[in-house]
């Protein structure tokens, strides 16, 4: 029988006859009542993430279903939230890829073909997974802080096993990024139809560059480009590409956040210009 400390010696602040249960209170482990002894503000980060993500989702939902103020015809600005616009309901000029679809029902986002893929791309992104597992699902909320669930099977079962499909959404995201890039080319337009450049163009351009940084920094991309190889030395080009993707990948979290911001900024700017609330700041033409 192991030695017990039946009564607390003087100076003891806590006698823990903590009942056994799961996690840090499992049998055999040091019996300490507090489930975490962290005293720093560990809850701050998940909380901020929770608030920001929720706000972003709300903004996106509202904006995507508004079906207005998404295009500035004078300068060819199309917000990424409505790209590609493929129906006859779209504002004339915004249909950069034609109108294979006819009338579009109300409230359904015009970009309903791509938005789900974009959402799923981010939803299955390794960084976002970390962020929402922590902040929305509390699994765990922070390191060495107990998680909120009794059972845990990680990503081994449906539905979370579907996270393994991330690379397909990555392929889709590459296509969508190409579309967005094409949209930016359309934004180099002046009121007269010739070449032009405004603040909106720059914002769209910056946004698309950041989107590429985010998309190419994807872990699946890193694997496909070179990570799966065991002999880099035999594939010098792929090794180089892997190195470049690795540089972006190291800042993947940064780009994940920055692009959330840049998408909102781009969209909001175009919405304001389109609604006539503000005028576009023109640099050339």
Contacts with other proteins by CB under 8 A lie at 1-5, 8-9, 11-17, 22-24, 26-32, 36-40, 126, 129-130, 133-134, 139-140, 143-144, 146-147, 151-156, 160-161, 164-167, 219-220, 222-223, 227-228, 230-233, 239, 249-250
Q: Residue 81's closest CA among 71, 92, 93, 96?
A: 71
Distance CA 285, CA 281 (A): 10
Could you give the residue ranges of the DSSP H alpha helices within 191-235? Answer: 199-216, 219-222
| Among 42, 56, 101, 126, contact with ligand FES (rule: CB under 6 A) | 126
Q: Which does 125 bind (CB under 5 to 8 A by kind): other proteins, ligand FES, none?
A: ligand FES
From the list other proteins, ligand FES, none, pick the one residue 155 interacts with, judged by a Cβ distance below 5 to 8 Å according to partner type: other proteins
Cβ 128 to ligand FES shortest distance, Å? 7
* Closer CB to ligand FES, 79 or 249, in the complex: 249
Neighbouring residues of 80: CB distance < 8 A, sequence distance ≥ 6: 180, 183, 207, 211, 263, 266, 267
Which of residues 78 and 173 has its CB atom nearest to ligand FES in the complex? Answer: 173
* Interior angle at CA 127, CA 122 and CA 128, nearest 5: 45
- Rg of the chain, C-alpha, whole Å: 25
Binding residue (CB under 6 A) for ligand FES from 85, 86, 218, 260: 218
Contact flags string 167-186 toward ligand FES, x per CB under 6 A: ---x----------------
**Residue 6 Cα to chain centre, angstroms:** 53
Q: Which does 218 bind (CB under 5 to 8 A by kind): other proteins, ligand FES, none?
A: ligand FES
126-131 long-range contacts (CB < 8 A, ≥24 apart) are: 126/166, 126/219, 126/252, 127/252, 127/253, 127/256, 128/256, 129/163, 131/49, 131/53, 131/256
- Among ligand FES, other proteins, none, residue 24 binds (CB under 5-8 Å by kind): other proteins
- Please identify which residue in 91, 125, 204, 210 interacts with ligand FES, judged by CB under 6 A: 125
All residues at 6 or more sequence positions from 42 whose CB lies less than 8 Å from its CB, including other chains = 36, 141, 142, 143, 145
Q: Is there binding between residue 260 and ligand FES (CB under 6 A)?
A: no
Residues lying near ligand FES in the complex (CB under 6 A) are found at 125-127, 166, 170, 218-220, 252
């Amino acid at each position: 029988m192991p030695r017990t400390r039946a009564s607390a010696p003087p100076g003891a602040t806590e006698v823990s006859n903590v009942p056994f249960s799961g996690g840090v209170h499992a049998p055999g482990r040091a019996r300490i009542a507090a489930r975490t002894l962290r005293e720093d503000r560990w809850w701050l980060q998940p909380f901020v993430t929770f608030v920001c993500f929720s706000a972003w989702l709300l903004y996106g939902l509202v904006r995507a279903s508004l079906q207005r103020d998404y295009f500035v015809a004078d300068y060819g600005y199309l917000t990424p939230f409505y790209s590609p616009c493929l129906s006859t309901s779209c504002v004339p000029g915004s249909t950069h890829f034609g109108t294979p679809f006819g009338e579009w029902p109300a409230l359904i986002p015009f970009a309903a073909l791509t938005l789900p893929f974009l959402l799923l791309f981010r939803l299955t992104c390794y960084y976002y997974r970390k962020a929402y597992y922590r902040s929305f699902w509390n699994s765990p909320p922070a390191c060495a802080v107990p998680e909120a669930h009794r059972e845990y099977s990680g990503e081994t079962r449906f539905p979370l096993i579907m996270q393994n499909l991330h690379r397909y959404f990555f392929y889709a995201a590459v296509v969508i990024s190409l579309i967005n890039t094409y949209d930016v080319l359309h934004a180099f337009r002046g009121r007269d139809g010739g070449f032009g450049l405004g603040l909106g163009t720059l914002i769209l351009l910056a946004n698309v560059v950041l989107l590429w940084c985010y998309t190419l920094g994807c872990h699946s991309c890193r694997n496909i480009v070179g990570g799966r190889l065991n002999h880099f030395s035999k594939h010098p080009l792929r090794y180089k590409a892997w190195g470049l993707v690795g540089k972006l990948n190291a800042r993947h979290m940064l780009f994940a956040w920055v692009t959330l911001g840049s998408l909102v900024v781009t969209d909001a700017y175009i919405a304001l210009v389109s609604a006539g609330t503000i005028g576009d700041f023109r640099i050339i033409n």
